[in-house]
Amino acid sequence: MPLLLLVLLHVASAQAQEVRYISDKQYIPLRSGAGNEYRITHRGLPSGTRLIVNSESDNGEWSQVTTDSGLSGWMRSQYLMQSVPAQVRLDAALAKAGQAGEQSSALQEELAVVQTERDALLEQLGTTETELASVADELAQLKQVSGNAVKLDEDNRRLVVQQEELRSQVEMLKAENLRLVDKIDSEEFLNGALAVLLGVIITLVVPRLWPKRRKSSSWA
């Protein structure tokens, strides 16, 4: 039962806690009790310090507070406010503005670097496109030359075939010419032989064809 009571008290105390801030431009001392007669436990918390209000005195003039670092004590409630002090907000805003300015400067420098890199890339891109166009022209010329080379090769093969055919025809004509020469020579030989044979025949036969004349008788 006592344990349950302690838990309930702790929950109630936690629910009763509120967040407060020390008001602008002040350093408020912490005391060990709710009154000026109590000793000072901390000589001065700066304005804007975030505090948890644990409880208040009966008259509401004093509040028991705890800092985020765990320091506890009492201070006058009049120095506490529910919202962050304007000066603290201003300082925070100025700090954020300073950080934003630094970030902006850094971003501007980074942007300048990126723009420089972009310009370099654009220049490189232009050079590459020029080289690409040159290579494309060269490739087109090579294709044209290659096409001509293919045609020349085809023509060369065709002419080689024609040359071989003509060569074969020449060889055939030479062989036919030799055959004709041999034939002519053979015919001339035969004609000569026939002429000789005919001469012999004429010499031997023709005289026999003619009747011999009788010699006149001495008696006549």
Question: Is 165 within a domain?
Answer: yes
- Residue 85: which of 27, 28, 23 has the closest Cα? 23
In a domain? residue 27: yes
Domain that residue 60 falls in:
8-84
Q: What's the pLDDT score for residue 7? A: 39
Domain membership flag for residue 203: no
């919202």: which residue's tokens?
83
Does one domain contain both 89 and 186?
yes
pLDDT in the model for residue 74: 94
Residues 119 and 187 grouped into a single domain:
yes
DSSP one-letter code for 213: P
Q: Has residue 204 been placed in a domain?
A: no
Q: Is 90 within the bounds of a domain?
A: yes
For tokens 């304007």, the residue is 86
Is 116 part of any domain?
A: yes
Radius of gyration of the chain (CA): 69
Residues ≥6 apart with Cβ < 8 Å to 92 = 84
Residues 110, 19, single domain; the answer is no
Query: Residue 25: CB partners within 8 Å, gap ≥ 6?
Result: 47, 87
How much is the pLDDT for 210? Answer: 60
Q: What is the pLDDT of residue 140?
A: 85
On whether both 70 and 99 belong to a single domain, the answer is no
pLDDT of residue 38: 92
Which pLDDT score is estimated for 129? 86
pLDDT value, residue 213: 58
For the question of whether the overall pTM of this predicted structure is more than 0.75, the answer is no
Q: Using alpha carbons, select from 95, 22, 32, 31 the residue that is nearest to residue 52.
A: 22
DSSP 77: G
Beta bridge partners of 31: 40, 74
Point out the domain boundary residue: 84, 117, 143.
84
The ranges of the chain with pLDDT < 70 are 1-17, 21-26, 205-220
Query: 45 with 129, same domain?
Result: no
Q: What is the pLDDT of residue 22?
A: 65
Q: Quick one: pLDDT at residue 73?
A: 93
Go through the chain and tell me how many residues it has. 220
What whole-number distance in Å separates Cα of residue 51 and Cα of residue 49?
6
Burial of 62 (0-12, 13-18, 19+ CB in 10 A): buried
Residue with tokens 């934003």: 100
Residue 27: how many other CB atoms lie within 10 Å: 13
What's residue 12's pLDDT?
46
